[in-house]
Amino acid sequence: MQYHRDGFRSGDPRRHPATRVAGEDRDETDVLIVGGGPAGLLLSAYLSQFSDLTTCLVEKSRGPLELGRADGVACRTVETFASFGLAGRLIDEAYWVNETAFWHPDADDRERIVRTGLVQDVEDGLSEFPHVIVNQARIQDLLLGFMDNSPTRLTPTYGVEFSSLTIDRARTHPVEAVLRDADSGETRTVRAKYLVGADGARSAVRRAIGLSLHGEAAGHAWGVMDMLAVTDFPDIRRKAAIQSATHGSILLIPREGGYLVRLYVDLGVVDDENRAAVRRTTPEQIIEIARDVIRPYSLDIREIVWSSIYEVAQRTADAFDDAGTDLANGIDPRVFIVGDACHTHSAKAGQGMNVSMQDAFNLGWKLSGTLLGRTAPAILRTYSQERQPVAQELIDFDRSWSQLMAQAPADPDHPERGGVDHATLQDHFVRAGRYTAGLGIEYPPGPLIAGATSPTAARGYPPGQRFHSAPVTRVSDGLRTELGHVHLADGRWRLFLFADSDRRLFDQACAWLAEAPESPVLRHTPADADIDAVIDVRGIVQDHHRDVAPSDVPALLRPRTGRLGLVDEEKLFSAISRQAGTPDRDIFDDRDIDRSRGAVVLVRPDQYVAAVVAVDQVTTLTEFFGTFMSQPGPQPGPSHTVSAGGPERVS
C-alpha cells in the first residue's frame, strides 16, 4: 500500500483527507443513485474517491441493512473487493466454501439420506481468492466504511424514496428527480447529470424510464432461513445439496462465525391456487420439512436469526438505460438501472448479489471517466451493451440449476418416474464451477475490447476476460506479491509490459510511451496530472529481481509523482516468484506469455483485458484509445520530459 506521496501524515492510511464532504441536501449533483443495496453501495464507493465529482445516494429504508438476504461472495467479487482494499477483512470474517457435499436417498432405505459425493468447491488455479459466505449486511458495512474514509466522506441519505423524473437533455443537469421523505411525505427536487436506479426488483426508476422486466416465474417456492442449531448431520459445516426421496430438497450453506447456517428448503410447486397458502408457511413448518429431508439426522433449532419465502423467477429488462438498445440513434444515456432493477433470479446459483455489483463496477469507471473528461459520453452506451448478455447468461444458468435442484431424485427401481440421479447433479455442479466463481464472463470484441493483435503473445490473457493474477516479485524490495493486486478500483487503465528475452523491445516500448507525441500515455493525461493518472504502466522482466540493476529500470517505470515529485519505485516486477518450501513460479509460464517477443496486456479499469499485442506492436494502442478517450494534453508534442528520476511534468 502506497501513501505519504504528497507529504507525511499519521493515522489510518485508508482514511483519506476530506477534500469536500458530500452534502445530504444537495439540489444539484453529478450522479444521483437511488437504492443503497450492494449495487448502489459499490457504485457509490467507486465514485466517492473522486474529489472533483459529486454523488448523492438515497435509500428508502430508515437505516443500514442489519440481517438476511444474499450471502454468497464469488471469487470474482473478492477480487473486486481487493481492488478497494477490502478483501482482507472480508475473507478474515467470512466462511470459506472449500468443499460441497451431495446427499441423496439411500438405495437400501429411501427414507434415509446418504452422502454420495464430495467435491472441491473451486477448481485450483481459478483465482487467488476463495469463494466465501458472509451476510449481505456485512458486505454493505464494508462499502459504507470505504465511503466514509473516502475524500468526499459520502454517506447515504436514508428514509428517502424516489418518486418521478423528467429528462431535458438541453440542460447541464438533464435529469430532474423528485424525491419524497418516507416519513413526512414532503418532496424535494434534485437535478443530476446522471441517475442510477439500484432500487431492486420493483424499481421505480425502471418504471419511470418506461422499461419492464420480461420472463416468467418458475412455479417453485423455497423457504430460506438463517439459524443456530444443534445437529448430528455430518456436513453441517460444509456446503451441501441434499435431496430426499419424498420430502423435497435442501441447499445448506454454512455461514460466517463458525455456528450460523442457512437453509434453502424446497416448498414445492406454486400456482395461482396455492400461492397464498405457500406464502403463509411459518418458520416452524419450514423446520419440520427440513427435519424430514435430513432423516435419519436430527435438527434442534436454538435460534432463528432470519427467514423468508420466495418464489423462483427469472426476468430481465429489455434495456439497462434510457437510451434503448438502438446504438445508432445517437442518444447518450442519462439514466441507468443496475442489479435487481434490471435482472432477477433465484438464490440457488449464488450469483445475484455478485452480478449486481459487477454491473456497478462496469458502470462506475465509465461514469467517472466521462464526468472527469477522460472519455467521450458515448462510452456509456456500452454499459447496457455489455451487461445485458451477462444477465441473460445468468438467467439461463439459474434456470437450469434451479430445475435440477427442484427435481426429485431418480429411483433406480422406478426409472419411469423420472427425476435426476446424483451423478448428473454433481457433474453439473463441477462443470459450472467457473461460472459460479464469477469467472465465466467474456465480453465480445467492441469499442472497449480490441481483441488480440498477436494472439500468441499472451495466451493466458484472452481479451474480454478478467485479468487473471499470478505471483511476481517486486524488483525494488524483493516483495513476493500478486500482479493483479496493483490494479486498484480508481478509474485508471493498466498497461502491463511483459519484457522480451533481452529487454531490447521492452526498453524501446517504455521510451516510446514516455516520449512519443502519439503515445496514449501522453495524449490522454492532463498536463497538470501525474504521468500515470490515466494509464498506469507496469513492467515485468524475465530476470531474477536481484539481477536487475537500478540503471536497468526504464525511466517510465520510475516516475515522479505527487506534490513533492517523489519517485515511485514499485512499478517493475520480476516474473520469477520464490517462496520457501514451494516451487518457483514464473508468470510467463503460468500465463503462456511469449518469451522471445514479450507482450503488452492492456486492462480496463474494471480489470477486464482490452487488448493483447506483442511489445513491438505497442504503437497500435494509439488508435484504440483514440476512439473513445479525450485528448487533454498539449498537442502536438509530448507534455513530459524524462529525467534521471523518471518522467516529470513540465509546467
Residue 588 is part of a domain; what is its CATH number?
3.40.30.20
Cα Rg of the chain, angstroms: 26
Q: Percent helix, strand, coil in the chain (nearest 5)? A: 30, 30, 45
Sheet holding 99-105, edge to edge: 113-120, 99-105, 239-243, 249-254, 260-269, 213-231, 299-317, 343-344
- Regarding whether 118 and 170 lie in a shared domain, the answer is no
CA 415/CA 410 separation, integer angstroms: 7
Asked if residue 297 has pLDDT above 80, the reply is yes
Residue 625 domain boundaries: 451-649
The 10s digit of each residue's pLDDT in 311-339 is: 867 889 989 999 975 655 678 999 999 99
Band (645; pLDDT cuts 50, 70, 90): very low
Nearest 5°: phi and psi at 90?
-60, -50
End-to-end CA, the chain: 29
Name the 3-class secondary structure at 360: helix
Which residue would you say has higher pLDDT here, 637 or 571? Answer: 571
Of the pLDDT bands very low, low, confident and very high (cuts 50, 70, 90), residue 479 is very high
Q: Is residue 17 part of a domain?
A: no
Q: At what angle do helices 352-371 and 381-406 cross, to 10 degrees?
A: 180
Cα–Cα distance between 76 and 195 in angstroms, integer?
26
- Give the separation between CA 189 and CA 164, rounded to whole angstroms: 10
Banded model confidence at residue 418, pLDDT cuts 50, 70, 90: low
Q: What is the reported pLDDT for 428?
A: 65
Name the E strands within 409-491. 451-452, 471-474, 480-482
Asked whether the beta carbons of 499 and 506 are under 8 A apart, the reply is yes
Q: Which helix (H) or strand (E) holds 283?
A: helix 283-293
Q: Does residue 482 share a domain with residue 373?
A: no
Tell me: do 295 and 333 sit in the same domain. Answer: no
My answer on whether 404 and 473 are in the same domain is no
Angle in degrees, 0-180, between the axes of helices 38-48 and 352-371, rounded to the nearest 10? 30
Q: What is the mean pLDDT of the chain?
A: 89
Residue, of 19 and 645, whose pLDDT is higher: 19
Higher pLDDT, 14 or 285: 285
Asked if residue 143 and residue 286 are part of one domain, the reply reads no
For residue 10, being part of any structural domain is answered with: no
Looking at the structure, tell me whether residues 293 and 409 fall in a common domain.
yes
Clarify whether residues 492 and 539 are in a common domain: yes
Which CATH number belongs to the domain containing residue 121 in this structure?
3.30.9.10
Beta bridge partners of 611: 451, 602
**pLDDT tens per residue across span 45-61:** 999 999 999 999 999 99
Instruction: Return d(Cα 359, Cα 42) in angstroms, integer.
Output: 10
Tell me: pLDDT of 636 over 50: no
Is 350 a domain residue? yes
Mean pLDDT, to the nearest integer, of 194-206?
A: 96
Q: Are residues 569 and 528 in the same domain?
A: yes
In a domain, 81, yes or no: no
What is the reported pLDDT for 461? 97
CATH of the domain at 152: 3.50.50.60
What is the number of domains present in the chain? 3
How does pLDDT run across 335-388, given as a tens digit for each residue?
999 999 999 876 655 677 999 999 999 999 999 999 999 999 999 999 999 999
**Among the three residues 409, 436, 463, which one is the final residue of a domain in this structure?**
436
264 and 135 in one domain? Answer: no
In a domain, 178, yes or no: yes
268 and 365, same domain (yes or no): no
pLDDT in tens, 244-279: 999 999 999 999 999 999 999 999 888 888 999 999
Amino acid 25: pLDDT:
55
On whether residue 341 sits in a domain, the answer given is yes
- Report the percent of the chain where pLDDT is more than 70: 90
pLDDT at residue 647 is higher than 50: no
Residue 76 lies inside a defined structural domain of this protein: no
Mean pLDDT across 5-20:
82
Q: Do the beta carbons of residue 82 and residue 129 sit within 8 Å?
A: yes
- Mean local confidence (pLDDT), 421-434: 70
DSSP state, residue 49: T
Q: 381-406 vs 422-431: helix axis angle to the nearest 10? A: 160
Please check whether residue 608 lies inside any domain of the structure: yes
Amino acid at 608: Y
DSSP-derived 3-state class of residue 455: coil
Number of helical (H) and strand (E) elements in the chain, helices listed first: 15, 32
Q: If pLDDT is split at 50, 70 and 90, which confidence band does 416 have?
A: low
Same domain, 201 and 63: yes
Estimate to the nearest angstrom the gap between the alpha carbon of 600 and the chain centroid.
Answer: 24
DSSP 10-53: -S-TTSPPPS-PPPTT-SEEEEEEE--SHHHHHHHHHHHT-TT-
Q: Are residues 241 and 106 in the same domain?
A: yes
Strand partners, 166: 176
Per-residue burial over 241-271, b = 16 or more CB atoms within 10 Å of its CB, e = otherwise: bbbbbebbbbbbbbbbeeebbbbbbbbeebe
Cα–Cα distance for residue pair 631/625, rounded to 1 Å: 10
Residue 580 pLDDT grade (very low, low, confident, very high; cuts 50, 70, 90): confident
